[in-house]
């Protein structure tokens, strides 16, 4: 089983073998997997969360919560993952798994996980051979989509000899690559043609950053965006040539959905002005639908003063036909000339309106999609726009950009050299923008 491209959530509980989890993370990355980490408080006593955050390039999900962490990681992280791997699994956390207790990040993720789960026990031989642990391991082996790895015998950290050692990281990776691994089984199941009662392979994807339906983050005063409102533009605009044809830009709306979801999860009231798009927004987000660039301009300008932040994510058509035909233009295969006129620049009009009024701080972020001369074009657009930041993105790499979950991007700010572009998920991109907005508003 090729691990390249697989998303693995690594649960780390508190034992001396925690240091081996760092080695395991690096081995998984070398195989091409993306790894995120959740930790119990006890695990942080052995290895600092910063170590795992630095290795994984992602905030670690902790019970105490990190400043940069998202509030619904117990739901978000497991749904993101193709596999939940608990290494090491102590007697304590194994007992929680078996009894349905969920009071720390590792057990919460186990409870809400719907992907295959692999548990690697590690503890003293006396604990491993205790009736309670043996019973709990047997319960776990009976759980659907849960694999309990063998704990080999040998010299333990305490100096005793016996069963209870953590399986070596290289052996764990070898198991995951084998045909008997849960990842291989899941791949075989997904390749099978679904029955009439199953889910079609082209079913719509879930929101990029789901939030539990019974939770309203805007009511949580502990979240950094509480009491703040963000206005987003999303999707694309369509400029009519005749009743059936139009000029437009490519946009699935996935980036806007990620932005709306992450802002909402951070406690912001989220309002979106959206043109046509395929991706769906999560509940709790207010959406106004528009068609053309002028429609979007009017909708945004009428809502501008009520927003603490405005993020212009929509792919707005720069031009529209000077005259749209009332009836379908007949196909004569003769040459057709269409006169185009410029559409209003929504981003620049927003920054101009902000400058003209004495009001509380409002943060404005624009987007710049470029296919060449990235730094030059982004710096020029930022200067002309008057925005506080510009998200430069480039859909020129394989499996990224339009319609994909990954994109090549960089956050560009005035007076700062354009940073090197990086490849990341659209949720990661959204989190970077949210962090910037919070910092500018003084809520970070």
What gap in Å lies between CA 87 and CA 167, rounded to an integer?
9
Give me the residue label for tokens 């390039």: 57
Decide the pairing of beta strands 269-274 and 319-321: unpaired
Catalytic residue set: 158
What gap in Å lies between CA 121 and CA 133, rounded to an integer?
10
In 3-state terms, what secondary structure has residue 239? strand
Distant-in-sequence contacts of 221-226, Cβ < 8 A, 24+ apart: 223/71, 223/266, 223/267, 224/266, 224/267, 224/438, 224/443, 224/444, 225/263, 225/266, 225/267, 225/268, 225/434, 225/438, 225/443, 226/267
Task: Determine how many CB atoms are found less than 10 A away from the CB of residue 414.
Answer: 12
What gap in Å lies between CA 166 and CA 151, rounded to an integer?
6
For residue 183, give the nearest of 58, 85, 94 by alpha carbon: 85
Paired tokens of 440: 């500018």
What gap in Å lies between CA 8 and CA 71, rounded to an integer?
20
Residue 16 carries which DSSP code? T
């Amino acid at each position: 089983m090729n691990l390249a491209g697989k998303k693995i959530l690594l649960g780390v509980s508190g034992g001396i073998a925690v240091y081996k989890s760092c080695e395991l993370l690096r081995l998984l990355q070398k195989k091409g997997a993306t790894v995120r980490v959740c930790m119990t408080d006890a695990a942080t006593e052995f290895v600092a969360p910063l170590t795992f955050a630095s290795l994984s390039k992602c905030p670690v999900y902790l019970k105490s919560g990190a400043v940069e962490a998202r509030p619904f990681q117990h739901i978000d992280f497991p749904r993101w993952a193709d596999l939940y791997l608990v290494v090491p699994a102590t007697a304590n956390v194994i007992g929680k798994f078996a009894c349905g207790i969920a009071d720390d990040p590792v057990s919460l993720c186990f409870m809400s996980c719907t992907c295959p789960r692999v548990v690697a026990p590690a503890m003293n031989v006396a604990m491993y051979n205790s009736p309670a642990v043996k019973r709990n391991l047997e319960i776990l082996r009976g759980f659907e989509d849960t694999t309990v790895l063998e704990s080999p015998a040998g010299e333990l950290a305490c100096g005793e000899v016996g069963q209870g050692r953590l399986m070596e990281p290289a052996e764990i990776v070898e198991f995951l690559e084998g045909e008997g691994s849960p990842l291989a089984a899941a791949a075989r199941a997904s390749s099978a043609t679904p029955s009439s009662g199953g889910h079609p392979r082209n079913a719509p994807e879930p929101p990029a950053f789901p939030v539990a339906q019974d939770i309203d983050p805007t009511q949580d005063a502990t979240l950094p965006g509480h009491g703040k409102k963000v206005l987003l533009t999303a999707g694309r605009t369509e400029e009519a040539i005749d009743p059936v044809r139009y000029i437009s830009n490519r946009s699935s709306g996935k980036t806007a959905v990620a932005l709306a979801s992450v802002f909402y999860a951070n406690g912001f009231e989220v309002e979106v002005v959206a043109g046509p798009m395929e991706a769906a927004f999560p509940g709790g987000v207010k959406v106004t639908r528009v068609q053309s660039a002028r429609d979007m301009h009017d909708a945004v300008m009428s809502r501008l003063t009520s927003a603490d932040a405005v993020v212009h994510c929509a792919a707005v058509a720069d031009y529209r036909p000077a005259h749209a035909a009332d009836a379908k233009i007949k196909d004569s295969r003769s040459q057709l000339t269409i006169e185009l006129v410029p559409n209003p620049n929504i981003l620049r009009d927003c920054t101009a309106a902000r400058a003209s009024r004495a009001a509380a701080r409002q943060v404005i972020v624009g987007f710049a999609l470029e296919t060449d001369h990235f730094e030059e074009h982004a710096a020029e657009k930022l200067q002309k726009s008057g925005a506080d930041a510009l998200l430069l993105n480039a859909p020129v790499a394989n499996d990224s950009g339009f319609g994909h979950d990954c994109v090549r991007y960089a956050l560009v700010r005035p007076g700062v050299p354009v940073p090197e572009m990086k490849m990341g998920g659209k949720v990661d991109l959204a989190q970077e923008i949210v962090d910037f907005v919070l910092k500018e508003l003084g809520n970070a």
